[in-house]
Structures are given as C-alpha cells and as structure tokens.
Chain A
Amino acid sequence: MPVITFTINGVPVSGQQSESILEIARQHDIRIPTLCHLDGLSDVGACRLCLMEIEGTSKLLPACSTYPSENMVVRTDTDKLKRYRRTIIELLAAEGNHQCAVCVVNNNCELQNLAYEVGLEHVRAQYLFPKKELDATHPDYIIDRNRCVLCTRCVRVCHEVEGAHVWDIANRGINCEIVADMNQPWGTSESCTSCGKCVLVCPVGALIEKGATVSEMEKHRAFLPYIMTARTKQEWIARAIEED
C-alpha cells in the first residue's frame, strides 16, 4: 500500500491510506484529544473532540474516522477548534452530575483530564441536574448513570469484544441512557458474563468496581488492542457493529 504524506499543524507526517488521521497523528506524537475513541474498538465520531480543519473543506471532520489523502493540510490546534473543544467539555459537565471530589475515579478520570487540558475554568451552561438512580445490583460492579457521558465505549466493547451485547442505548436526544437488556437491574441480566470489560473501558466513574472508594479506582485499558490483535491473527469471528 502506498505511503501518503501530508501535514498536521504544519508538521509533515506520513501514513497508510487505511490508517485514520488520528492514528497517524499519534504515531508522530501529535496530541489530539478524544473521548469516544478507544484503541481496539470501532469508531463512531460522536464526541466531536477530535474535529479538525482540512484545507479546502468547509466542514470540520473527526480525525478518528477520516482517512488521509496526499498533500492534505490538516490543522487541529486553531483557536476555533480549541474553543469548540472547551465548549464540548462544558456541555458534558453541565449534562450529567459530575462531582469530582467525591468520585471513585477522581484523578483517574478522562473527563477530568480533558477539562484540565482544554482549560475549562467555569461552566456557563445551565446545569441540568438529571435525576438518575445508581444501580448496584450486580455482585461486582456498579453503574452510576449520573456520571455517564454516553461515549458508548461500554456498548461497543460488550458487543464487539465480549460478544454479549448486554448494553445498548435507550431513548433519544438528551434522554439517552445506557441500559442493560430490557432496561432491567444489571444484576438480573442473563446475558451479562460479568467479564468487567465495560468497567475497564469506561472513561469516567459511571461503571465502577464495588469496594473502591473516592479516588481509588484506576482503570487499565491497554488489554483491548491485544485481545483484538489476538483475534485477528487467529481469525476469530468478531463482527464489529458498525456503530453504537
């Protein structure tokens, strides 16, 4: 496959046609913030944090699901993009109930890190304070939908890697929610294998292990690419669900 050369933020880079611009940027140590993307899972382009400007295109495109072409001029660090990223984090902060000080993943939270990174100092948007219940019916894990950012990583890992498809999204728009099976208590789900992958991939403190207290829970996500590589090499059947 031919190598494609182009520039990101003025830096000349090269990569394969089949690699997303996000992958190529990472290979060249160019940081592009992401939230819904996770190595090993399919990309959905939903969080809009990795949006970039491409010369000659009026629309902003997500780096995770856009592929390079020769001599493309990509920018990911313009003032406009930085402002938009901050607003996205601001919208997420206002959408759920995020109280870092009392959260088990405090200091290990991707949303928190992103907020630092984009310089979110205060939230101008109106807090929605949704009333959501915490589900601790599973013997090992807890889902706290108050902290969910709807990145759908859990939905994808459960379908694409574990193959159980316990999780899916119910409702739509601002009422979207992650549900187990028939929107039933997680502990009563017959399809859940209790593998815990969803807990590990969750970027925030929405899916957590029982027994962890404030700031105690660290998540390890590096296992995923290995599993996926193992599968592809052995040609196990893993059908990526196109999305969600």
Chain B
Amino acid sequence: MTIEELEERAASEQQRQAEFKKRVLTCTAAGCVSCGAGKVVGHFRAQVKERNLAKEVEVVETGCMGLCGSGPLVRVAPDETMYKNVDLEAAHQIFDEHVVGGKPVAAYAVDPKMPFFTRQVKVVLENCGRIDAEKIEASMAAGGYEALARALTEMKPEEVIEEVRKAGLRGRGGAGYPTGLKWSIVRKAQGDQKYVVCNADEGDPGAFMDRSVLEGDPHRVLEGMAIAGYATGASQGYIYIRAEYPLAIERLKTAIKQAERAGLLGNRIMDSALSFRIDLRIGAGAFVCGEETALMRSIQGRRGRPRPRPPYPSEKGLWGMPTLINNVETYANIAPIIRNGSAWFAAMGTPKSPGTKVFALAGKICNTGLIEVPMGVPLREIIEEIGGGTPEGTTFKAAQTGGPSGGCIPAEHLDLPVDYESLQLVGSIMGSGGMIVMDSTSNMVDVAKFFMDFSVDESCGKCVPCRSGTKQIALLLEKIRSGQATPDDLALLEELCVMVKETSLCGLGQSAPNPVLSTLRFFRKEYVDLLIPKLVYEPHEA
C-alpha cells in the first residue's frame, strides 16, 4: 500500500459514512456488554432489517465511550447525541423517535455540557467509542496509519526518536521513564535481531485503561509499535496481553490480520525497507508479569520470575537481544505525536510531564468510567467535577492511585496536580492509571489489607523479602484489624514495610508496602485506635 492508496481508502470510507442519514454507535466494550449492550445492538440491527433502512442507517459497534457506570451507552451520529442506561425499551424508543423520527429522546440523553465531557482532553482516546474497532477502514478514515506513512517516507529513524524525545513523552506504565531516551538506547544497542514489546498485562485490580484502548482502537497501538520498530530497527513485535481480556484479544487478532492484508504490517511495509511483524502472547494470570523482566520470561514460556537489573531489556532482553518494552498507552501516544508534531504534544500537560493521562475512575464516586485529562490537572477537578463527587451523604476521604503499588491521597492534598513528581511526593505513584475513590465510610486499614493480600497472592516467591515479608505484613495487618495487636506489632509492621521496600528484587516487592506506608502516613489514627496496650509481664506468685 502506498500513501496515495491509504488516503484513497480513508476518503472512500469517509464518503461511505457520510452517505448514511444516521449512524447508531453502541459501545460493546466489556463494561457495557456486561450490562446488556449485546441485546441493544441486536435490537438495532433487527430494526434496520425489519424497516429496510440498510442504506440510510448504519449500526456500529465501538469501544469504550467513557461513562462506564451508566452503560450500555449509545451514540447517534451525526448529531452526536449520547444516551446512557440504554435497555431494550430505551433502544426501541431511541430508534423510533431519534433515528427514524429525528427527535432526540431527552429521557435517556446525556448532557454533553456536563464537566465529565468538557473537562477531558482526548488524545489516546480520540477514536475510542467513535469508530468501528473491527474495521481498518474506520481507523484509516480517522487518520490511522497516516503517522506511520509519514515516518516511513519523510523521516529517518533518528528523526522519529528525536520527535518523541522533544515531545517529552514519558512511559505511561507508571514509572515515567522518558520514552525517547529508551528508544534511542535500543536503537544504539548491538544485536542481530531487536524486539518491540507492548506490555498489555494490565494487572492493577481496578484499572481498565489499556483494555479500553485495545478494544476501542487497536490499530492505534499497532501503528505506534510499527513506528517504534522503524525507529529502533526491530523487525518483530510482541503484544503481551492478559487472558482475562478475551474481547481485546479478539479485536487485536482481527486488527493484526487486517493490517497485514493491507500491507501495513509484515514485509516491506508501504513499499519501504521496513519489515515488522506483530504476534500476540497471551498471559495466564500473574500480576508480576507486568514487571518487564518477568514479562520477557513469560513470553519465552517460563515462570514469570523477575531477574536483577542491570542488564536492562534495552541491552539484553528477549532471547538476549535488545528489546524495547512500552505499555499500551505509551504506544497509543506515538501516532498523534508524529502526526501533529512534538510541539503540539509538549504544549499539553506540564513541562515535566507533558501530554495527557487516561484514568479508570471507580469506587465511591458518581461517574465511574474512563477519563483522559491533561497531566497536572488538580486532583480536585478529577474527583469533584469530572467524577461528580462522592455519592450523596458521604464526603471524600482519599483517592488511591497506582493500585497495589501505589498509595492514597487524602482530602488535604486534593489540590495536588496529578503528575509523576507530585504524586511521588505524597507517597503514591502515577501507576498505570487506576484511581479508586474512597469516602468517609471506607476503612483504610481494610484497604491496606486488601492490597497486601493481593501482593501476597501475586508474589512470585523468588526473593525472600517479598515472598515471606509480604506474608508477615499481611498477618500483622490482620492482627491489627482483629484488635489483638500491640504498639510493638505496629512498630514491627513499619520496620518490615521499609525492609521489604528496600530489599526486594523487583518492582512488585519494592512497591508492595506502599499502600500500608501511605495509609500509615495519612491515617495513622485508624491503626492506633485498633491497638491494645502493650502486654506487660507480671510474674505469678509462687
């Protein structure tokens, strides 16, 4: 495929879409499917057939539209009316009155002016919920593969890396390592074969950003990876994805096949010298495989046990070869950067953390769902305006970011700007983007115990501090929770937390104590209130 052909296919798809009077888009991402989106789509399709409207009305299944707490969600184009809580009855009414009749149904309509929509800035999610994720043409019509075409024809690999570096993009998997720097290390590394790996092993319980991107706009990730392959000199890519995401796996498989057929993956991409293949590797339920050295071992069919770094994967990775590992959201940012230029990207967010970040907002909050905001936006804006605050009758207590590796941010830090450095300053991390809101009814010791149980369960068992230390911390937390602990136990708890954090082999162990340390820092009273006085030995009289 040449650039001209790409443009032609994009234009013809745009033309085709414009010919429909109405397009009914239904979110069929996992959240909405779990509340019955499948039936709604079925109803729309049946209606179109029954009323013989196939030429005027198109029914489209899309990825996540964001407001997951009020699914199933439906959007009617071209007037962009969005509906929430669409059950069969609502679907019937919407089809009758809006799609056929042309009059929006107010009862189910979502107010487009609500801060949930107006305060978001969509870069990664720009196509999510707007295009048919199973059609490559839909992606092309929205600008897909334009960036790859430009990189291959107009830019040298070094220029691509320079553009990413100037954009200031940092790894969206949590640690925030500068992406451009990582790419240039892999480019310079020596090796007969290089690999590009996409980490889609989103293990944080309560996070579904990566899944939504893969379900809603898989081609964007493939395009980002192909550009990375071109820039670093790799010819083979792997996407390591969790088995728990069957829909994302299906859509990725479809997308890879389509891209191969269109000559956008495989040998001599767009008639250039670039050859780049992508294969899927399915994870099997191990959180630790999100750690890059464990992930690589898992790709090689082994137990996902991390190894000491250095050597880093960028020097010695898969099969000992230089390997680039970025997460889904990082790759999803690449195409827009190449398309719109690094200056455009760097203008968003803060100077040290440019761009946007996707968060999965959940817990005790009114608008649960998927959001994308510029970096540096105050936490208050996310919670109170976009999230709509905590449910009636309760007040905000803390927001937990970074899942089992992160910490909580209490109400007194609500005005904290959300970026890598600020979150670290208060003992939490950006993480991959899970944000769980806790209100006055939540017990912080319970929350810490929940995350510690998770870490005990997910520890690979290789190093002593993580294998045995997390278990001891969990036991101490249970002792405190059941009102049997003394101040000595609390002191031991703190000592063990610091020790596990400093001595563990990999990121999982090093960050596992964070939820405890952070709740101890801000909600120490909740722990102390549960303690019993220190036992004093009183000898019995003989």
Contact = CB atoms under 8 A, between A and B. Distances in A.
Interface of A: 44-48, 51, 60-62, 65-66, 83-84, 87-88, 91-92, 94-95, 124-126, 128, 150, 169, 171-176, 242-244
Given A95-B468, A244-B303, A173 B503 contact: no
Interface residues of B, number: 33
Given A47-B463, A91-B464, A92-B464, A173 B457 contact: yes
A218 B302 CA distance: 34
Given A44-B307, A62-B308, A244-B303, A84 B499 contact: yes
Contacts of B469: 87, 91
B465 A48 contact: yes
Interface of B: 286, 297, 302-303, 305, 307-308, 456-465, 467-472, 475-476, 492, 495-496, 499, 502-505
B465 A91 contact: yes
Contacts, number: 95
Nearest to B473: A125
B459 A172 contact: yes
Contacts of B470: 173
Contacts of B463: 45-48
A20 to B, nearest CB: 11
Contacts of B475: 126
B503 A88 contact: yes
A61 B468 contact: no
A243 B298 CA distance: 13
Nearest to B476: A126
Nearest to A83: B499
12 contacts: A45-B308, A66-B308, A87-B465, A95-B467, A125-B468, A172-B458, A173-B470, A173-B471, A174-B456, A174-B471, A176-B461, A244-B302
B308 A150 contact: no
Contacts of A66: 308
Contacts of A176: 461, 467
A244 B305 contact: yes
Given A124-B492, A174-B461, A84 B503 contact: yes
A150 B461 contact: yes
A91 B308 contact: no
Contacts of B476: 126
A87 B501 CA distance: 13
Contacts of A60: 502-503
Nearest to A45: B308
A48 B303 CA distance: 20
